[in-house]
């Protein structure tokens, strides 16, 4: 399968040079979701303890490209939204006290949002000496942990683990930690931990993953493929009712908005292949 995908990438790269780069290799606006995957499970999961997704990157990603690969594109724990993944140009506060934002290059990220839009302080975040932080309201009120991780072409697993429950003013809170496992190097990177209200947790029936080009600069669309496995909850594959891949127009007002990705479905896998030259087939989604 990998050789077939690599040959397809070579073909797409060849065809891409026939298209004017200024017109096609850059999305019409930023951020731009190339593809959104939505898995719908047959039922929600009670007694949630962990969530993991294997994903494999085929093709090199230049450090100058602003790419977000989010195997945890959107999930819900007791109704609270969170997401996570890896980025080419992550950043955050070097310490909780300084709140001085610095860029760290390639890294991992784990964020959660406020359930009622109340601002979240950095008391909801923990990490080690190399964890970076952010708490802000420019994408809704959220709190986040980040970690420098030098990732490249290869296979990884993004993991969320339930860690421990604490009491504060007779209210239970639970810490969840985020990790990225590098299969080639056999290294498990700890990104950091976030606090959620509650002791027992249920996971909703829907889970998303996505590829996004972000940032205000002219970040081109890289020529890669990403293979996403079906999410595992409590160490078991979700029993999937339906899988839908969307190619968003991202609010573009153009009537001829291209899509910049293509998908293939395999056993327990979804393959997303980026198309920098764009496709004008007007396809907005695929259902498997």
Nearest to 160 by CA among 137, 177, 138: 177
pLDDT the model gives residue 161: 99
pLDDT digits (tens, 9 = 90+) for 188-205: 999 999 999 999 999 999
CB atoms within 10 A of CB 95: 13
**The pLDDT value given to residue 218:** 66
Residue 105 has pLDDT above 90, yes or no: yes
**11 three-state secondary structure:** helix
Query: Measured between alpha carbons, how far is 109 from 130 in angstroms, rounded to an integer?
Result: 13
Q: Residues 34-61: pLDDT tens digits?
A: 999 999 999 999 999 999 999 999 999 9
Parallel, antiparallel or unpaired: strands 50-58 and 225-229: antiparallel
pLDDT of residue 215: 79
The pLDDT assigned to 112 comes to 98
Band of pLDDT at residue 108, cut at 50, 70 and 90: very high
pLDDT band at 18 (very low <50, low <70, confident <90, very high): very low
* Cross-strand partners of 5: none
Residue of 154, 111, 147, 113 lying closest to 131 (CA atoms) = 147
Does pLDDT of 217 surpass 80?
no
| Cα 133 versus chain centre, distance | 17
Confidence of residue 212 (pLDDT cuts 50, 70, 90): very high
Mean pLDDT of 156-173: 97
Asked if 48 contacts 76 with a C-beta cutoff of 8 angstroms, the reply is no
Q: What is the average pLDDT across 274-281?
A: 89
**What pLDDT, on the 0 to 100 scale, is given for residue 16?**
46
- Lowest mean pLDDT, pick from 146-150, 192-196, 259-263: 259-263
- The sign of the torsion formed by the CA atoms of 77, 79, 82, 83 equals positive
pLDDT for residue 10: 46
Residue 233 confidence (pLDDT) above 80: yes
196/198 Cα distance (integer angstroms) = 6
pLDDT at 127: 98
Q: In sequence order, which residues have a C-beta less than 8 Å from that of residue 23 and are 6 or more positions away? A: none
Residue 6's domain comprises 2-287
101 pLDDT more than 50 = yes
- Name the 3-class secondary structure at 23: helix
Number of domains in the chain: 1
What pTM was estimated for this model as a whole? 0.91
The length of the chain in residues reads 288
How many other β-carbons are positioned within 10 Å of the β-carbon of residue 55? 23
pLDDT bucket at 122, cuts 50 / 70 / 90? very high
* Residue 281 confidence (pLDDT): 86
Asked if residue 20 has pLDDT above 80, the reply is: no
Q: Among 26-40, 48-62, 173-187, where is mean pLDDT lowest?
A: 26-40
pLDDT at 19 over 80: no
Residue 48 phi/psi, 5-degree rounding, is: -65, 135
Alpha helices in the chain (DSSP H): 2-16, 21-24
Work out the percent of the chain whose per-residue pLDDT is above 90.
Answer: 77
On average, the pLDDT of the chain sits at 91
Instruction: Output the CA–CA distances (angstroms, integers) from residue 120 to 117, 188, 203, in the order listed.
Output: 9, 28, 21
Predicted local distance difference test score (pLDDT) of residue 66 = 94
Give the residue with greater pLDDT, 147 vs 253: 147
Contacts of 70 (CB under 8 A, 6+ apart): 83, 84, 85, 209, 210, 211, 212
Percent of the chain with pLDDT over 70: 89
């Amino acid at each position: 399968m990998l050789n077939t995908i690599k040959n397809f990438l070579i073909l797409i790269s060849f065809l891409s040079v026939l298209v004017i780069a200024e017109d096609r290799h850059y999305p019409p606006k930023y951020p731009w979701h190339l593809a959104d995957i939505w898995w719908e499970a047959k039922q929600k999961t009670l007694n949630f303890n962990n969530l993991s997704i294997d994903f494999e990157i085929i093709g090199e990603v230049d450090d100058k490209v602003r790419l977000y690969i989010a195997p945890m594109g959107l999930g819900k724990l007791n109704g609270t939204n969170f997401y996570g993944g890896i980025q080419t140009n992550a950043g955050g506060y070097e310490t909780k006290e300084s709140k001085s934002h610095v860029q760290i290059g390639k890294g991992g990220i784990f964020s959660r949002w406020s359930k009622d839009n109340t601002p979240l302080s950095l008391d909801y975040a923990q990490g080690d000496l190399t964890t970076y932080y952010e708490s802000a309201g420019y994408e809704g009120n959220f709190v986040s942990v980040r970690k420098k991780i030098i990732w490249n072409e290869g296979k990884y697993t993004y993991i969320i683990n339930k860690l421990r429950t604490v009491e504060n003013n007779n209210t239970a809170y639970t810490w969840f930690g985020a990790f990225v496992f590098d299969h080639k190097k056999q290294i498990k990177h700890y990104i950091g931990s976030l606090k959620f209200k509650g002791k027992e947790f249920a996971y909703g029936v829907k889970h998303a993953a996505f590829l996004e080009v972000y940032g205000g600069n002219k970040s081109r669309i890289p020529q890669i493929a990403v293979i996403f496995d079906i999410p595992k909850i409590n160490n078991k594959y979700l029993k999937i009712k339906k899988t839908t891949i969307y190619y968003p127009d991202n609010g573009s007002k153009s009537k001829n908005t291209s899509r910049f990705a293509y998908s293939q479905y395999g056993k327990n896998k979804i393959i997303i292949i980026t198309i920098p030259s764009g496709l004008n087939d007007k396809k907005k989604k695929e259902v498997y």
